[in-house]
Amino acid sequence: MLSKANNDLLTQTGPGTPCGDFLRSYWQPIAAADEMPIGGAPLPLRIMSEDLVLFRNDKDQLGLIGQFCPHRGTDLSYGRVEDGGLRCLYHGWLFDINGKCIDQPAEPKDKKFCHKVRHAAYPVREKGGAIWAYMGKGEPPMIPDFEFLMGPEPNRHTFRVVQTCNWLQGLESSTDPAHTTYLHRRPPGKKSVRSGSDIAALRGTEPPDISIQQTDYGTRIFAIHNSPNGKKYLRVNNYVYPAGATPSTSTGESGYQGRWYVPIDDYTHCRFEFFYRHSEPLNKETLIQNHHENVAADNRHVRRPENRYLQDREELKRNESYGGMGLYFPAQDAFAIETQGAIQDRTREHLGSTDIVIIGVRQALLKAIKKVQEGGEAPWLQRTPADNPFADFICTSGYIEDHEDGPSFCQRVLASKAAAE
């Protein structure tokens, strides 16, 4: 349970809010790269309650500027891409990728006042199949070289989905190892299209033993399952500052997923998924097909509150899925978090022993937000290429020795990593 003050602190992300300042200290993914093809239309985006438009100018440079024209407020996302910028349709004012007004064609030559107009603009970069924005103050840090952004293109793929609830509910779903045994249960022998694994065969159907460790990058999360073959199966997941998670999806050593939760406003957010394999290409055709079968053109899941997530009670009774909502994990997660309410009232919840992760991640977040609120620097900002933010980062799943637990397994992996360097 949280106090109302702490629930507000964690969930309010608009300009000037403490959590908003914390999130703005980092680069945030704002769109999938394939949403901004060369020559494509400007894309209106609301990010952390700010209305913006992302566009490529006619030199293929990306810009992110305020959505509404500073002249008299017309929507620039309908504008013309020309002359090095984005031109408003109403009176032709032209803005470059830095938000600078560079033309006011309707004003007489001696009365132009471009230099007096300041329009909102944020730096943008393309990395790892996503477009990222820095909406904070001062010199931007680096976008860390996550494996899931840096691997060869055939080994990774990025999706963006809109979910109708506060960002923290999304993040909490990706860091919570207790729910997978229930919400995502599937019949034995049924492989996941996304991970390619028979999860029940790997993990069994009993609840895992869960523990956490706080680290420099966030929170390390351990879930140990008693596998049907008598061995212990460990999943190491992570909460990563500021809004990331790396749930290991039973793909073992072969790879994992990065996820990132970006507020649109306080009642909706984008979930970014970064699929990644270390050494083999992804089956992109199947992944993309699976995505399009389950996500509509508005970037929301086909299963949504308006159709009661197409729940099929007969499917549930036959145990073909746990909740009668098909076998697509992200739609099951969307059901769980969207029905918690637009902003979950955490003053009314009753946390149990398996919610240790939820408590740990909130503690890490509150500490970081308060540090920024008091004028300190947000944690885990990478300032120079020489910094190695991933020194103690582990994301994996697999069988461990009987005598090992999560922390001792990680200690062994980090020691052998250090010895190899």
- Supply the minimum distance, in Å, between the C-beta of residue 86 and ligand FES: 11
**What is the Rg, in whole angstroms, of the alpha carbon atoms belonging to the chain?**
23
Nearer residue to ligand FES within complex by CB, 44 or 123: 44
Using the contact rule CB under 5 A, the part of the chain among 13-21, 148-156, 229-237, 326-334 near Fe ion is: 326-334
Among 9, 62, 69, 234, binds ligand FES (CB under 6 A): 69
Q: Which is nearer to ligand FES, 79 or 379 (CB)?
A: 79
On whether the CB atoms of residues 397 and 159 are closer than 8 A, the answer is no
Q: Of 103 and 333, which has the nearer Cβ to Fe ion? A: 333
49 Ramachandran zone, left/alpha/beta (phi>0; psi -120 to 50) = left
Among 49, 61, 74, 211, binds ligand FES (CB under 6 A): 74
Instruction: Find, among 417, 408, 6, 415, the residue nearest to 211 by Cα.
Output: 408
Q: Which residues of 328-356 are buried (b: 16+ CB within 10 A; e: fewer)?
A: bbbbbbbbbbbebeebbebeeeeeeebbb
Judged by CB under 5 A, which stretch of 81-89, 205-213, 330-338, 352-360 contacts Fe ion?
Answer: 330-338
Nearest approach in angstroms of CB 76 to ligand FES is: 7
- 27-32 and 130-134 strand pairing: antiparallel
- Provide the minimum distance between the beta carbon of 184 and Fe ion in the complex, in angstroms, as a whole number: 6
State the CB neighbour count (10 A cutoff) for residue 299: 15
Q: Considering only CA atoms, which of 216, 231, 211 is closest in space to residue 406?
A: 211
Which position has the token pair 């996503």? Answer: 130
| Residue 333 interaction partner, one of Fe ion, ligand FES, none, beta carbon < 5-8 Å per kind | Fe ion
Sequence length of the chain is: 421
Q: Which is nearer to ligand FES, 23 or 52 (CB)?
A: 52
Question: Distance between CA atoms of 45 and 37, rounded to whole angstroms?
Answer: 16
Tokens found for residue 289: 């097909």
CA neighbor of 268 nearest in space, from 168, 192, 402? 168
How many whole angstroms separate alpha carbon 383 and alpha carbon 385? Answer: 7
Size of the site for ligand FES (CB under 6 A): 9
Helix (H) or strand (E) holding 6: helix 4-11
- Partner from ligand FES, Fe ion, none contacting 74, C-beta within 5 to 8 A by type: ligand FES
| Options 72, 292, 348, 383; binder of ligand FES; rule CB under 6 A | 72
Distance from C-alpha of 216 to C-alpha of 180, rounded to nearest angstrom: 26
State which residue, 73 or 187, has the beta carbon closest to ligand FES: 73
Q: By CB under 6 A, which span of 2-10, 58-66, 68-76, 372-380 interacts with ligand FES?
A: 68-76
Site for ligand FES in 77-116 (CB under 6 A): 88, 90-93
DSSP assignment of 279-329: SS---HHHHHHHHHHHB-TTSSBSS-GGGGGG--HHHHHTTSSSSSS-S-H
Q: How far apart are CA 304 and CA 100, in angstroms?
A: 40
Out of Fe ion, ligand FES, none, what residue 90 binds, judged by CB under 5 to 8 A for its kind, is ligand FES
**Interface residues for Fe ion in 176-235 (CB under 5 A)?**
none
Binding to ligand FES (CB under 6 A) within 375-414 occurs at none
Which span sits near Fe ion by CB under 5 A: 10-18, 25-33, 43-51, 329-337?
A: 329-337
Candidate residues 266, 273, 333, 338; the one interacting with Fe ion per rule CB under 5 A: 333
Asked if residue 273 binds Fe ion (CB under 5 A), the reply is no
CB of 122 to Fe ion, least distance (A): 31
- Sole window of 212-220, 253-261, 332-340, 372-380 interacting with Fe ion (rule: CB under 5 A): 332-340
Closest residue to Fe ion, judged by C-beta, is: 333
- The CB-of-215 to Fe ion minimum distance in angstroms stands at 22
159's CB contacts (< 8 A; 6+ apart) are 32, 272, 273, 275, 291, 295
Query: Which residues contact Fe ion by CB under 5 A?
Result: 333
Query: Which residues contact ligand FES by CB under 6 A?
Result: 69, 71-72, 74, 88, 90-93
